[in-house]
Chains A and B, each alone.
Chain A
Amino acid sequence: MFNNPARNDWMLLAGFSAVILCLPILLEPIGAAYPALMQKFCIFGIFAIGFNILFGLTGYLSFGHAAFLGVGSYAAVWSFKLFTMNAIPAIVMAVFFAAAFAVVVGYVCLRRSGIYFSILTLAFAQMCYNLAYSVLTPLTNGETGLQLTLNDPRVVDGLFFEPSAGLPRVDLFGLPISGGGYAGFYLCAITLIVCFYIAMRIFRSPFGMMLRAIKSNQNRMRYTGFNTRPYLLAAFVISGMYAGLAGGLMAATDPLVGAERMQWTASGEVVLMTILGGVGTLVGPVLGAAVIKYFENIFSSFDDHALHGVLGFLPNSIENPIVSFLSLFVGDGWNLTLGVVFMLIVIFLPGGIMEGLRRIWNLFNRRPGNRDAMPVAQTQPAE
């Protein structure tokens, strides 16, 4: 019954949608079923899916994707400020500006490959970050961050409604999006499902095959007469649009944008998510994003006090050293945990969680000629 790839995909999509839409029920037992957090899962899932279209398919490791996220966020907030509080135009603007920006950056950066590409994208992202902090302050509001104010024009809204007292909320035809309600979560969730579907189509299309071919041997592609650059640029722009969309949603759910969203550590985070989940797989990046955001939430809220509470049953002489050791990893030390886990994954399990799951699956289903549903992810440089 697994022989029909098209039906497999539909089942994957149906399963994925079901899981995403039922998140509030599924996450109840582990205490993560509040919209603000689930929203983050979805937004970073979109970001990571987009990053994976570039890195997973073509092998080009970009260290500057946060710049597109930032551009999307700023564009969305400007749409709220200038035109309307409706989320749709803001998201459209976010995607559009991110795409335009990605065309420029991609056109320049894709002239080189391998590590040079990584460094060029890094340079661009740092440039944007520095500019957002300094010269572009009229556009980005510098260190304070761009936010809504009472005397924004909001031209379109002004035509239809009386301005209410207080700051308006981002809405979707009356549904409140910002402020951490379920409407915001479902907007993100549905967007994520649509994005997932599009990514799936890209993975299965001839275009996706072309990108994979570029990853495995770009020279050979060139020798057969393909001009690889338009394909790469298309992949880069698509992945930039995903990042812009994620940025737009981020701004829609919380209309306050700071420049630190564009810093290269933020780009590093999406790399971590994608690797952790599984490069080149469809579900992996979303999984990685969710895992990182979930544990970030859990670990950051732990502190010494909570640790003492958990380990209280131990005798003091054992408890104290253990607590002081563990306190390295929780609370502010969450990044340390992340770094350690990330290193372990890169060293021992380059395919990420998805490869781990597949290995476990194969352990229990050892049938001769076991087909591989998805190609084993390998991170290869684009050389």
Chain B
Amino acid sequence: MDAILLQILNGLDKGGAYALIALGLTLVFGTLGVVNFAHGALFMLGAFCAVTFNKLLNLESVVVDPEKTTAWGSPLETRTPYVEAWLGDFGVFLNDYSVPASIMLAIPVMLLLGIAMERGLIRHFYKRPHADQILVTFGLAIVIQEIIKHFFGANPIPQPAPDAFAGTVYVGQILGMGQTLAYPWWRIVYLLFSLGVIGAVFAFLQFTTYGMVVRAGMHDRQTVGFLGIDIERRFTVVFGLAAVVAGVAGVMYTPILPPDYHMGMEFLVLSFVVVVVGGMGSLGGAVAAGFLLGILQSFASMNEIKSLVPGIDHVIIYLVAVVILLTLPRGLLGRKGVMED
């Protein structure tokens, strides 16, 4: 029982990342009709926002004290990050919480990047075939990836979770199911965070006038245009929003997986599978499929199942995608008439 619960938890936090990326992909696809292969790169950019923020916080002043020496005989160096020197306790706090705090940096950066990307590039590809859209965004993904590699190197850069969340939490105790089930705090935080973001996006689309117009535009952009609404502009904002969602997903994922320059590509392939399984253009489907595939993947990597079907953990997602695509052409929750073929 514990093992099963553990696998579900494992799957949920990975599924959270898939769901967030897939949500953005679907949003862009549903509004702009563009297949964005650079979306994984946006996830990766978000993760590197966290890295940059952490680096900025850790800019330090070095004071060499010639009077005192260390045990090795060299002069003692006192290093204090500027933030701590200037802001005192709050600086220490900020340094500890650098990962969640870097969301503050990631949101404006990703929003601007997303809008620039849509205005500068994607806009010119609305009328071009899907193959061209795939190709140009694939090229863009390579470019972003290589620029990041140039500035941050090819090695993963680990990011610490805040001390308060660094340990494990005894989930079993909380649920009253025995003592043994322990789980990393940060992963639970990530799960809650992703649920929160997903909820926020849905609320935005469902309960605001702005979101209502966007949904109307997804349905029939021409009619919305006839009503005198500048739908293009709203769609640009939606693209920015999708970029932000991918970005913050990347930021919060850094303590779980140290970011490197090609993490985006790995997540992208899986997220596409998620989108397709959920149903092209269906937001709910993307989220559901994200969590579902995350859980399936973590179950497949249980030792009992691996010994039954060797290698299943590596292929389960793709296998499910193939089966779903062949049996349910619209995916799990796909709408009728959206990219059926």
Q: Which chain A residues have a beta carbon within 8 Å of chain B's beta carbons?
A: 59, 61, 108, 111-116, 118-120, 122-124, 126-127, 130-131, 133-136, 264-265, 268, 271, 275, 328, 332-333, 335-336, 338-340, 342-343, 346-347, 350, 379-381, 383
Contacts and interface: CB of A to CB of B under 8 A. Distances in A.
A342 B134 contact: no
Q: Which of A124, A134, A136 has the most CB of B within 10 A?
A: A134
11 contacts: A108-B322, A111-B326, A113-B341, A114-B339, A119-B321, A123-B273, A332-B150, A333-B146, A336-B150, A338-B142, A379-B129
B265 interface: yes
A130 B314 contact: yes
B203 to A, nearest CB: 29
A335 B145 CA distance: 9
Contacts of A122: 269, 272
Nearest to B317: A123
A61 B315 contact: no
Interface in B54-84: none
A114 B315 CA distance: 23
Contacts of B265: 265
Nearest to B315: A127
Contacts of B35: 115
Contacts of A114: 130, 339, 341
Nearest to A383: B341
B2 interface: no
Interface of B: 35, 121, 124, 129-132, 134-136, 138-143, 145-147, 149-150, 265, 269, 272-273, 276, 280, 310-311, 314-315, 318-319, 321-322, 325-326, 329, 339, 341
Contacts of B124: 347
A120 B322 contact: yes
B153 to A, nearest CB: 10
B146 A346 contact: no
B150 A333 contact: yes
A381 B269 CA distance: 20
Contacts of A381: 129-131
A328 B314 contact: no
Given A118-B134, A336-B142, A343-B139, A126 B339 contact: no
Contact of B149 (A119, A123, A136, A332): A332
A127 B295 CA distance: 18
A350 to B, nearest CB: 7
Contacts of B310: 135
A112 B131 CA distance: 15
Nearest to A343: B139
Contacts of B129: 379-381
Contacts of A134: 311, 314
Contacts of B314: 127, 130-131, 133-135
Given A343-B139, A346-B135, A336 B322 contact: no
A342 B142 contact: yes
B85 to A, nearest CB: 31
B136 A343 contact: yes
Given A275-B135, A333-B150, A347-B136, 12 more contacts: A114-B130, A114-B339, A123-B322, A126-B269, A130-B314, A133-B314, A265-B265, A336-B143, A336-B147, A339-B141, A339-B142, A340-B143
B148 to A, nearest CB: 10
A129 to B, nearest CB: 9
Contacts of B132: 346, 350, 379
B2 to A, nearest CB: 27
Contact of A336 (B146, B315, B321): B146
A135 B322 CA distance: 20
A297 to B, nearest CB: 18
Contacts of A61: 131, 134
B144 to A, nearest CB: 8
B139 A116 contact: no
A268 B262 CA distance: 14
A343 B132 CA distance: 10
Nearest to B130: A381
Nearest to B125: A347
Nearest to B309: A135
A112 B341 contact: yes
Nearest to A123: B318
Nearest to B141: A339
B18 to A, nearest CB: 14
A379 B138 CA distance: 16
A268 B269 contact: no
Contacts of A113: 341
Contacts of A346: 132, 135-136, 139
Contact of B315 (A59, A131, A275): A131
Contacts of B321: 119-120, 123
Contacts of B329: 112
A59 B322 contact: no
Nearest to A219: B341
A76 to B, nearest CB: 24
B131 A380 contact: yes
B131 to A, nearest CB: 5
B325 A131 contact: no
B130 A339 contact: no
The 9 A-B pairs of least Cβ separation, nearest first, read A135-B311, A339-B142, A336-B146, A130-B314, A343-B139, A339-B143, A123-B318, A342-B139, A381-B129
A140 to B, nearest CB: 12
A183 to B, nearest CB: 36
A120 B317 CA distance: 12
Contact of B325 (A112, A339, A383): A112
Contacts of A338: 142
B159 to A, nearest CB: 24
Contacts of B142: 335-336, 338-339, 342
Contacts of B339: 114-116
A133 B325 CA distance: 25
B131 A59 contact: yes
